[in-house]
Structure 1
Amino acid sequence: MAVIYNPKDISDLLQCKESTLRKYSLLLEKYNYNFQKNDRQQRWYTDNDVIVLRKIIALKNNGDMTLEQAVENVVQWTKGSDETLPSTDINPDSQRYNKDIAELKRMIEEQNDQIRKLGEVITKQNEYINSKLEVRDQEFMKGLRELQETKRLIAAEQEQEAQKSFWQKLFNK
């Protein structure tokens, strides 16, 4: 005996709203898919209906088809037709998106190459700057030592000058 589900059970099972389930069911009926109904014309769903609904959701979420195209293809599938409808072909929008994605990938590769080259230039500049700073520091230290030596000599001369007597200073001897 087949298990029969009410709309609430199916919407919970498919994780969709009951209004969405109703929308899918109406579209299926539009393409001559038959559901079991009670005497008040309320739909009851079987395991086969659950499979059909899951296929519709999968095709729709795939992005290559509209909801109506997905319903049409699933109805054809349930009727046992091996014939696929033209709507299963990749639509022009997805082809355009594929071209856009390829173009974006190419641009990203070019940008990565430019970034790598800029990184190399920056590394060379840093090496050049570091070498110039080292030379500057060495020259600065050399000048500082010469200045200290000059000050030391001046101080020594001033000390010798201070040790001279008054008469030696007067006659500059």
Structure 2
Amino acid sequence: MITLIWNFPYRRWRSAMSEAEIVYTSNEVYGRLGVSSSTLRKYSDVLEREGYDVRKNSRGRREYTEFDVVLIEQLVELSKQDGMTLEKAAKMIAKQFGIANKKEESQDSDPVPYQMQYQFQQQYSAMIEEINKVQQANLLEMEKRIGDRVDRNNKLIEEDIKERNKLIMEDMKDRKEHEERIEKRLELRDDNLMKMVRE
């Protein structure tokens, strides 16, 4: 479980979360959220205006991580509260994550009520827990796949060892039978020689 540290530097957070990320396309994200592509673009734009970085591929198309998707969900939920707009919700998220806004903040921006900050902290805690669950599920699935592969490899190795042992035993048996045949021939030859000598 990740310990909550408010105003944790955003870029360090994204770097820490980037190792086992699953990347979604815009189509997958707006299908998951049940919104149109233009609405998803609006959500992304309002976050990016506050300095949040949604990565883009070589074609300039946005690629979303699980963290991005959950954060957009939180943005939407916050904006539904009384007196809260998308822009205010984005500012609140940027403030909590220590995201640097490239534009100068307005001097007369409305302060966020303490109760709303507390609600956001609760939602943030739930969001972190959800991300942890997703990552844990991914790790368990990966461990299962690796375990299955190891089991298959071990089984193949065991079968290979058994096959080689079988071939070795068959070879030893063939050699023994060959030696016995040679020994019998030698005995027969000796018997014949003895008979010839006696005659």
- TM-score class normalised by the smaller sequence: 0.3 to 0.5
Q: Decide which structure has greater helix share.
A: 1
The TM-score with structure 2 as length reference comes to 0.40
The TM-score with structure 1 as length reference comes to 0.46
